[in-house]
Amino acid sequence: MNTYQTLLYYCYSPIHNAEQFAQQHLDFCKSLNLVGRIIVAEEGLNGTVSGTKEACAQYMAAVHADPRFAKTDFKIDEVPEPSFIKMHCRYKSEIVHSGLRDPQIIDPNKQTGKHLEPTEFMQMKDSEDVVILDVRSNYEHNVGHFKNALTLDIENFREFPEKLKELEQYKGKKILTYCTGGIKCEKASALLLKEGFQDVYQLHGGIIKYGKEAGGKDFEGECYVFDNRVSVPVNSVNPSIVSTCRNCGTVTAKMINCANPVCNEHFTQCDACGEKLEGCCSTTCMEHPRKRHYDGTGYYVKIPQPVNTEKISKRKHKNFPSKLEETH
């Protein structure tokens, strides 16, 4: 029986003294015994929190009672257990890292793509003059994406502006952007408009809302989420799995972090290879002296690690998915 809930949300709204607000908000969340991850910046809130239904109801009521966040749209999942282990609420320069910090250039409160409700998105996505654009990172769209979607080779959303030249060829088409919960599309669509794209739309509420209100039709695979569930099914109409095990090629939707904390690579791995390699991406990592215990989930509480300069150098030359740096 699902006695807990997980809330996914964001709200672009100016917050003065955001760093102080982040500490106060953390204390409030802890008072409700919530767990999760929230990012606070001068531009607003971005979070996923989990707890009892009563605690989640109190949290949503408190957020909506604040005039700054009254428009917040919560995506609610019923879950059998909390989706996090700890509660974090951190102050950062942006609520989703894009490198587009100047509100004079990009301000989602002033201009974004036209918001499409899930059923509107479903009706428009197969038109000939439409390009469905996935603005998420490699490790996200590798585990699941819309049928016929255009995906970008990026490791983090902050690389999105670098891909605009590749999108120039689609300027005469309708661009339908989508992401997990909608937050990345707010800035991605705004940037596309600024760069001269005329007909830009975004899926309101993202993949998660599309699954709840449109049955997830034509979303292939599962949706990557930023908690210990890692990925969730969204398609109840024509479901499929598109990702494969890195080690053996078996079709699987399971994503883990390598049990070697120095590597910590994020990748898909089937249960058989997970058991054989003890949750590692390779035999080399399996033999590492700091290897973590693999409990079958591949999800670990993040602890500070020394900077791996060799890995950073390697990422510059090949597609090498990284540990989570974003939230939906």
pLDDT tens digit string along 66-120? 999 999 999 999 999 999 999 999 999 999 988 776 666 688 888 999 999 999 9
- Mark whether 288 and 208 lie in a shared domain: no
| CATH code at position 59 | 3.30.70.100
How many Cβ atoms from other residues are within 10 Å of residue 251's Cβ? Answer: 13
Question: For residue 53, is pLDDT > 60?
Answer: yes
In a shared domain, residues 137 and 177:
yes
What is the per-residue pLDDT for 313? 42
Determine the Cα–Cα distance for residues 31 and 43; give it in Å rounded to an integer: 25
Helix (H, G, I), strand (E, B) or coil at 85: coil
Instruction: Give the range of the structural domain holding residue 193, as residue numbers without chain letter.
Output: 114-229
Average pLDDT over residues 33-60: 97
**Residues whose CB is less than 8 angstroms from the CB of residue 6 and which lie 6 or more positions away in sequence, other chains included:** 36, 48, 49, 50, 76, 77, 79, 82, 83, 227, 229
Enclosing H/E stretch for 221: strand 219-221
* 138 to 33, 73, 151, 160, 298: CA distances (angstroms): 33, 26, 8, 12, 19
Question: What is the value of pTM for the model shown?
Answer: 0.86
> Does residue 328 lie in a domain region?
no
Identify whether residues 122 and 223 lie together within a single domain: yes
Query: What DSSP assignment string belongs to 96-113?
Result: S--S---TTT--TTT--P
Examine residue 209 and state whether it is found in any structural domain, yes or no.
yes
CATH number at residue 208: 3.40.250.10
What pLDDT sits at residue 68? 97
Domain end residue (candidates: 214, 229, 244): 229
Give the confidence band of 327 by pLDDT, cuts at 50, 70, 90. low
Those residues with Cβ within 8 angstroms of residue 165's Cβ, 6 or more apart along the chain or in another chain: none
Nearest by Cα to 19 from 94, 103, 92? 92
- Domain match, 75 and 161 both: no
Same domain, 78 and 128: no
Q: Residue 15 falls within a domain, yes or no?
A: yes
Same domain as 201, residue 124: yes
**Is residue 148 left, alpha or beta, with left meaning phi > 0 and alpha meaning psi from -120 to 50?**
left
Instruction: Enter the tokens of residue 71.
Output: 């428009």
Instruction: Tell me the per-residue pLDDT of 237-261, one tens digit each, with 9 for 90 and over.
Output: 999 999 999 999 999 999 999 999 9
d(CA 153, CA 136): 9
* Residue 311 scores a pLDDT above 60: no
**How open is the CA angle 139-26-266, to the nearest 5 degrees?**
15
Active-site residue identified among 29, 56, 89, 179? 179
Residue 258: active-site member: no
Same domain, 154 and 210: yes
In a shared domain, residues 225 and 260? no
For residue 255, give the amino acid letter. M
Number of domains in the chain: 3
Query: Hey, which residues does 47 pair with through a beta bridge?
Result: 9, 38
